[in-house]
Every structure is written in structure tokens, then in C-alpha cells.
Amino acid sequence: MSHEPGHASQTATPQVIVLDTGGQYCHLITRKIRELGVYSEIRASETPAAELAGARAIVISGGPSSVYEPGSPDIDPASFGLGAAVLGICYGQQLIAKHLGGVVAKGDKGEYGLAWLDTLADGPLWRGVAGRQQIWMSHRDAVKTLPPGFELLGSTETCPVAAIGDQARRFYGVQFHPEVVHTERGRQILSNFLFEIAGCEQDWNPHEQTLRIEDEIRRVAAGRKVFFFVSGGVDSTVAFTLCLRALGEDRVRALYVDTGLMREGETEFVQGVFEALGRGLFAVEHAQQRFVGALAGVTDPERKRHIIGEMFVSVQEQILESGHYLEADWILGQGTIYPDTIESGGTSKADLIKTHHNRVAGIQKLIEQQRIIEPLHLLYKDEVREVGRELNLPDELLSRHPFPGPGLAIRCLCAAKREEVERREDGWLLPVRSVGVQGDSRSYRSVLLLEDSPASPGVHEKATHLINSFTEVNRVVALAGSVEPVSSMSVWPSEISAARLDRLRAADAIVRRLSFASGFEDDVWQFPVVLIPLGTESRPDSIVLRPIHSIDGMTAKSVTMPEPLLTEMIRQLLEIGGVAAVLYDLTHKPPGTIEWE
């Protein structure tokens, strides 16, 4: 079943089928396989075995459920009799163990983020990667007893059964996630499974996406015109440019909504980018008062996202109606990429982590009417940048850090009432809650503040250990600098206001300016700056620094900042009126999401 690279048949059975059990990384598995030159597709986990026949390999994804709970995602047991090689990842390993005679049970404690794997046996899965190595975990359940015919292939300190294999039947399971960038030898492990074990052949070129997407745009548009609400970020700009190329200037328009939730200088930057693409294609709608007013008194993060999303739809509908864009020959274009849909429960079993503004009810209605075009919906951020390079878009745009659609609103945390900090053995428990993802499920928990310096040796490892040990927290921060002692601070009743947004905007501008000047901005994938209502009566807010490294946003690693840069940043941030302290987020993803809300 060999094809010319770049011309994989999408009608015949693909060489690799990934069975989706609801994991956050399901599409990431497929993309990593395609990066290795093998075409793969995702199917529902319960797909009948007969529909999988002909595949050379079956990969069972991770997921948020427990295999021993009623109604949890399952696979057709007959899939093990097809002769295909099988790889189970995380929940997938547990399903293999359950079906083939092993035992799965809840672990003594969870394991989220970085861990160290020791390989325990030779074999094709470890070819070229044997020995102690960094991996990425996100689980609490684990295999306790191996199925008959399997041998133990790897262990970690927390998880004795981290990898298993039955070489004769070509069945393998790993509790860790080889598909994420922070499993340092994960690419080679997947390559070993595909080529050494499953016997796959290269039939896919992952770098030639532009022509395929443009063909899809022309097919979906079907003679209609496309109107974009653009943010000026990489995704919406690349999507707009693809439509412009595919359909021509007469059929594509863009409008930028200034929500009042934007960064300093953002509107001017976006205007410059789109005017360079073509005059008369772009306009600005000023809607600051409508957005900020709608958020008054709201503290819940999901409610904030819904309000912003629905306000976007309201503003969009008003603009569309006034410009006759609701007529049958116009459809709405969006720069939605895959993580937006997977984290909003966009696959059949994925747990809702957070609602993205382009997946709220108003947008869903347009989707049902087939009035939406999303050229990038199967791509991840790094793939979008690759397409942007093929389009010759300026590097100044393509190298920009991702910025959330809801803007600074989800970086400006609020509180309904005053609450006191609580002294703990390892630090201070802050009554500030943030969103996390643990074991592929959403968490909304408190923050633990350490009085350690963020530059202390081993501080990230300490943070990971504390999160794995205490179920009441999903995020750990270090005290980088403060005007007042933590013991005198409280969480204050707060909401989104012009004053707090200005405070956050000023802090964000300082961080961006210093990061750019020092070159640190090039060392990180994203650098959210967050305002939390922690402080004293005269200084009611604190700033959180969140520099992370990632490839696609599905996983992320907290990054240590050079000490001279951090020192100067703290000095300038503490000069902002109303700021009591500067905190440093030590949390990886998982267990903490990149954004706090």
C-alpha cells in the first residue's frame, strides 16, 4: 500500500488509524504521525473492527475517563484480531491491559507533567532510545498487573508500569505521551512503532498544505464571498491570506473589532499588517464600551468567555447586517485551529477544558447553517506558521506570540468576595482559582504561592511534586518580588474595569518591551502576563509572569528567565500604581493551562 509522498489516498484505508477516546492530544498524535511521512486518520474509539481492516497500525489515544467506570470509552475487542500493530497511549495502554487480561486501578497519586522513564528491556520500541529519558505524563490510573504475554518495558518513580509490550503480537502500550514535544525521544519512539514494528511506508508530505487548503476554500465557498473578523494574530491573518489567494480581492473582506481588551498599540499594528495585504480590504470597528460594560460584575472565567463570545457575535451580526453580509452570497471566515475545538469539547468524548470564543452558541448556529469557513481547522500553531511561510507573510507577524481571542479579559482575574490567604507548610494557599487540565479533564482550583525565588535550583521540580501531591491546587507560583509581605495580603472583591485593564496593559507593555530588547522573547513560545486581585487595600492587585515553551499549545513547559532581566522587570512592574507583588508561574501544562482562565 505505497503511495507517492504527498499524494496519500484519502479514500482507501489509511496506513494508521488513531482511535479517539477523548484525549486532549488525539489530533496531535495524528499530526506527529503525518510529520513522520505517514498518512493517518482519526476514528471514533468504538469503530467496528471491520471498518479498521487493512490498516497497518492502530493507535489508541489517551482520554479523561477511567477504564473501569461504566460508560467509559471502549474499543471493539475484535480490533486485536486484525493483524495490525497496536500502540496504546495513556488511557490506551490501560484499555489494552483491560481487554487482554491485565488489571488497571487508581494510583496512589497522580503524575502530571515531566517525569523520568527507565527502559527495562530491549526491543524494537526502544531502538536508538534505550536508557533513562525525560517523558511527559498526565494520569492517575495505571496498569497494576500485566496481561498474559506482555513484558514490562519501562517504569518511572511514580508509575511502575510505564510501558509494556507483546513483541510476538506487536501490541505495545505506554503510559506516557510520546506525541508531545516534552517527551524528549517521543518522535523516535513513534517512528520505531510505525516503521520497525508496523512496517509502514512513507506516503505523506506534511509541508505542502497550501494548495490543498486553497482547493478546499474554493470548494466550501462555492462561489460565495468571505468576510473575516480578524485579530491580527497568526491564525486569522494566515486564514484571511489563504482566502484572498484562493478567491481574489473582490470576494474577501476583513474587519477588526477593537474590544477595549487589547494590548497597547495592538490596533495600530493590525491595521498596518492588513493595509499591506491590500487597500480597501480592511476596516476597524470601535466597540470598547460595549465589551467592558458587558463584563461588569462578572467573575467566573467560563461566564466571561461566554459573554465575550456572545458580544462578538452581537457585534458581528450588527456589522454583517449593516453591510449586507448576511445575504446568501456571503459567509463568515475564521482562523480557528484544532486546539480551539479540542479544548472546547470538540471531539465526541473530549472533556471541556475552557470555552473558546469561536465555539459559542452564535457561531455554532452559523456552522449549522453552513455559513462558516475555517481553512485552518485541522492544523496546529506550528503548521499554521509553516503555511504562512509558504505564503511569504512577514516574519514579524509569523513570529508573534499567540494571544487569546478574548484578549486581556481572561488575563484579568476577578473575585466575588474578600478572602484571606492561608499559611501552609510549603507556602501560602491563595484563594485565587485558575483553570487547569489534569488527566485530560478540566480542573478549577487554588494556587499555591512559594516564597522561593523563581531562579532557585530545583524550584520547577518542587512545584511539579507539590501539584502531584495536593489535589486542592493545580498551579504553583513563586514570589518574585513584593512591596508588602504575603501575610498582609488578601484577595479583594474585583471585576473587569477600565482601571484594572489599564494596570494590566501597562504591565504587559513593560514585559513585552524588556523581553524584546533582551532577546528573551525569542526564547519562549508565549509570555502571558496575568493580573490577579491579590494585595492590600492600597495595592489590591498582583502581576503574574507566565513565560512558557511549547510547539503547539497542547503541552507547555514553564521557562526560567535570566536573573538580570527578571530583576529589572520586577523593579518596573512594582512601580505601577496598585501593584503589590510580582509572582512567577512555575506550572507546566498539564496540569495548568497556558492561560489562567
Q: Which three cell numbers stand for residue 187?
A: 518522535
Choose, from 26, 90, 159, 414, the residue flagged as catalytic: 90
What gap in Å lies between CA 572 and CA 403, rounded to an integer?
23
The active-site residue out of 27, 139, 177, 357 is 177
**Which one of the listed residues 179, 266, 386, 521 is annotated catalytic?**
179
Does residue 472 have an active-site annotation?
Answer: no
Q: Which of 515, 547, 545 has its CA nearest to residue 531?
A: 545
| Residues with Cβ within 8 Å of residue 310, at least 6 apart in sequence | 360, 361, 362
Q: What is the separation, in whole angstroms, between the first and last Cα of the chain? A: 46
Note if 286 is an active site residue.
no
- Angstrom distances, CA of residue 422 to CA of 11, 149, 272, 431: 59, 51, 48, 8
Q: Find out whether 571 and 454 touch, Cβ atoms under 8 Å.
A: no
Whole-number Å distance between alpha carbons of 547 and 514: 13
Measured on CA atoms in the order 349, 351, 355, 360, is the torsion positive or negative? positive
Q: How far apart are CA 369 and CA 115, in angstroms?
A: 46
216 belongs to the catalytic site: no
Q: Amino acid identity, residue 241?
A: T
In whole angstroms, give the CA distance from residue 389 to residue 393.
6
Q: Give exposure, 372-386, as e/b (b: 16+ Cβ within 10 Å).
A: bbbbbbbbbbebbbb
Q: How many residues does the chain have?
A: 597
DSSP state of 74: -
**Contact residues for 280 (Cβ-Cβ < 8 A; gap 6+):** none
DSSP annotation of 411 reads: G
Q: Using CA atoms, how far apart are residues 380 and 515, in angstroms rounded to an integer?
A: 25
Helix (H) or strand (E) holding 443: strand 441-450
Nine-digit cell at 365? Answer: 448556529
3-state helix, strand, coil in the chain (%, to 5): 35, 25, 40
Active site residues: 90, 177, 179
